[in-house]
Amino acid sequence: MSATPTHVEENYLKAIFSLSLKHPEGASTNDIARRLEATAPSVSDMLRKLKAKGWIEYQKYQGARLSARGRELAVEVVRRHRLWEVFLVEKLNFSWDEVHDLAEQLEHIRSGELTNRLDAFLDFPRVDPHGDPIPDAAGNIQFDAAAVPLHLADQGARYELVGVKDTSTSFLRYLDHTGLSLGSHIQLMDRLEFDQSVLIEVHDKSLHMSPHASKNILVKPLPHE
């Protein structure tokens, strides 16, 4: 049994990990194929290989779940990826819409010492530039239980933008255009029944957010003033 996954295998383990957060019963072949832009037959073939190595539990038509060792490997990749994103934004001045593809390349550098030193150099960040939690050295991940999608926020209440679910370049640039970023303070002013879009106030200006936007912006309540 190989103890070290290939870059492609790491990408599969990371994809299964991410999909399992929404589908704990197992990541389907089709969902994995869409995420990795691969064909269903090639995904099925790789899942059989990952199962043979003991990294996933997999049965045809029932999806894939990470084994304990598979989760460890996946979380290591996720940690490296998110730390590199922080480094690229905070130290090299990349914007948050530019860093994903670069981090995809850097995440495969497997030096644990480099990862730990990078973490310390960045002063142990808790989240990446998109608000996703960064696993610690022990593989623990602290999700913000108070975070909710903007479209579920209470009308009239004030919130802080703490993350985004859609990390595509087009969506992040859209948020930049509207002036929204992590840490922005938002007040939900109205929810339109016609299309479930919302009106918010940010920096003393009103913005109309589409249903897609409001479902992909994560916010948490601000303390009462």
List the end-to-end C-alpha distance of the chain, in Å, as a whole number: 58
Residue 48, token pair as written in the block: 């059989």
d(CA 170, CA 107): 23
* Other beta carbons within 10 Å of 52: 12
Residue 1 has pLDDT above 50, yes or no: no
Residue type, 199: L
68-90 and 112-121 helices, crossing angle to 10°: 40
3-class DSSP string for 7-42: HHHHHHHHHHHHHHHHCCCCECHHHHHHHHCCCHHH
The 10s digit of each residue's pLDDT in 22-74 is 888 899 999 999 999 999 999 999 999 999 999 999 988 788 999 999 999 99
Domains of the chain: 7-66 (1.10.10.10), 76-143 (1.10.10.10), 148-221 (2.30.30.90)
Tens digit of pLDDT for each residue in 123-164? 999 999 999 999 999 999 998 889 999 999 999 999 999 999
